[in-house]
Amino acid sequence: MNPLESQLQYPFGDDMPDGGIARDVAPGVRWLRMPLPFALDHVNLWLLRDCIDGREGWTVVDCGISRQEVKDLWERIFETVLDGLPIVRVLVTHMHPDHVGLASWLCERFSAPLLMTITDYTMARLFSEGGAQGGATGGARAAAFFHQHGVTDPESLEQLHARKSYYSDLVPSMPSQFDRIADDDMVRIGGRDWQVVIGRGHSPEHASLYCAELNVFIAGDMVLPRISTNISVSDMEPNADPLHLYLQSLDKYAFMPDDTLVLPSHGRPFRGLHVRIEQQRQHHAERLAEVEQACASAPHTAAAILPIMFKRKLDLHQMTFALGEALAHLHTLYYRGVLRRQVSEDGVISFVAVR
């Protein structure tokens, strides 16, 4: 456990549910884990006991990616975890594949409605149906965007170019209909109110859920116990300032008590929400200071910032997130007036301190 983790409390210790098994974490709330084929090797999902229009069952929060092994684990869950009851609702926190990948499959299997924010639903449909067109997650536009920000390695650029179906492979379809949730909505689940709290920066309109009666916060990816939430600029919105949006969003959770049980999408459930939020603010302040110092000595592209912000070797998948995050920090400093942009004759963008 690193020093920051030691400041948090983990009520379930290291007891984490294996694939296809659930763990009770609060009355009517069960914890599932599904595998991911990345260095971040799992995603947490949540089952909430529910009853809709007299139909007993479960609301599932997030779905996992569309892979046969994940479907097989869900089949085991259907048989052994749901107490013989159906899924009556699928609620997805945001558009990223590990959260929305199997939404269509689950909704169709149980004739269950999908609940999402309108922005993330629309983005998920756009990316899923984009297929060979590529986009922010790969393809020609993404490769050009990364080259513009200093990635010159031909092999990496070719792999990015060939990655055009990355999203649609993990999210092959989206339900054609959905029920919109929005900030401050109260979603009645199992006789309890869950407040929708919208956060931005990680995704366009990320929905977290807080139940005051249980003092439980389903945080999604907005607050994670061990790693920092990825905040990235992509080719779809190349001049965005997502870090500013994320830091603003952290204020949205100030009303929750100190002893709130936080259910994150990655890592273990924990208590210490406000400690963790302050840790995240400090983390980004330190990264911003590093980036500003680097650009004060010489112009830096986003690619040149990577070894400053990330000390370990990155594979291509990790590099795509890392470069987006480096650019997010550069953009925040740019919009604060601390850095200025300059563009070379070949179109490569670098950032340098304002003198």
pLDDT at 5: 77
Residue 348 has pLDDT above 80, yes or no: yes
Q: Tell which wins on pLDDT, 132 or 152.
A: 152
Residue with tokens 């229009």: 53
Mean pLDDT of 270-294: 97
Mean pLDDT of 47-60: 97
Residues in a beta bridge with 186: 195
Tell me what percent of the residues of the chain surpass a pLDDT of 90: 87
Residue 153 has pLDDT above 60, yes or no: yes
Q: How confident is the model at residue 330 (pLDDT cuts 50, 70, 90)?
A: very high
Which pTM value belongs to this model? 0.96
Own/partner contacts of 27-30, CB < 8 Å, gap of 24 or more, are 27/214, 28/190, 28/192, 29/214, 29/216, 29/263, 30/81
> Both tokens of residue 136?
């922010």
Q: How many CB atoms lie within 10 A of CB 323?
A: 26
Evaluate whether residue 64 is within a structural domain: yes
Evaluate whether residue 331 is within a structural domain: no
pLDDT at 140: 86
Q: What is the DSSP letter of 355?
A: -
* 160-209 confidence digits (pLDDT tens): 888 888 899 999 999 999 999 999 999 999 999 999 999 999 999 999 99
Task: Look up the domain containing 121 and give its range.
Answer: 5-285
Q: Minimal CA–CA distance to 189: which of 163, 170, 213, 225? A: 213
Q: How confident is the model at residue 137 (pLDDT cuts 50, 70, 90)?
A: low
Residue 277 has pLDDT above 80, yes or no: yes
Evaluate whether residue 305 is within a structural domain: no
pLDDT at 253: 98
Look at residue 64 and give its three-state secondary structure: coil
Mean pLDDT of 54-60: 97
Evaluate whether residue 351 is within a structural domain: no
Mean pLDDT of 71-82: 97
d(CA 288, CA 294): 10
Q: Write the DSSP assignment of 157-216 as a string of letters.
A: HHHHHHTTTHHHHHS----S--EE--TT-EEEETTEEEEEEEE-SSSTTEEEEEETTTTE
Q: Are 167 and 58 in contact (CB under 8 A)?
A: no
* 293-327 confidence digits (pLDDT tens): 999 999 999 999 999 999 888 888 889 999 999 99
Evaluate whether residue 350 is within a structural domain: no
How many structural domains are present in the chain? 1
Residue 206 sits in a domain of what CATH number? 3.60.15.10
Residue 136 has pLDDT above 60, yes or no: no
Q: How confident is the model at residue 131 (pLDDT cuts 50, 70, 90)?
A: low
Q: Write the DSSP assignment of 245-281 as a string of letters.
A: HHHHHGGGGTTS-TTPEEEESSS--EE-HHHHHHHHH
d(CA 110, CA 89): 9
Mean pLDDT of 7-16: 94
Evaluate whether residue 153 is within a structural domain: yes
> Both tokens of residue 184?
């401050």
Q: How confident is the model at residue 39 (pLDDT cuts 50, 70, 90)?
A: confident
Evaluate whether residue 346 is within a structural domain: no
d(CA 248, CA 281): 10
Q: Minimal CA–CA distance to 116: which of 108, 125, 129? A: 125
Mean pLDDT of 283-296: 97
Tell me what percent of the residues of the chain surpass a pLDDT of 70: 97
* Number of residues written out for the chain: 355
d(CA 86, CA 245): 37
Evaluate whether residue 193 is within a structural domain: yes
Residue 110 has pLDDT above 80, yes or no: yes
pLDDT at 339: 98
Residue 1 has pLDDT above 70, yes or no: no
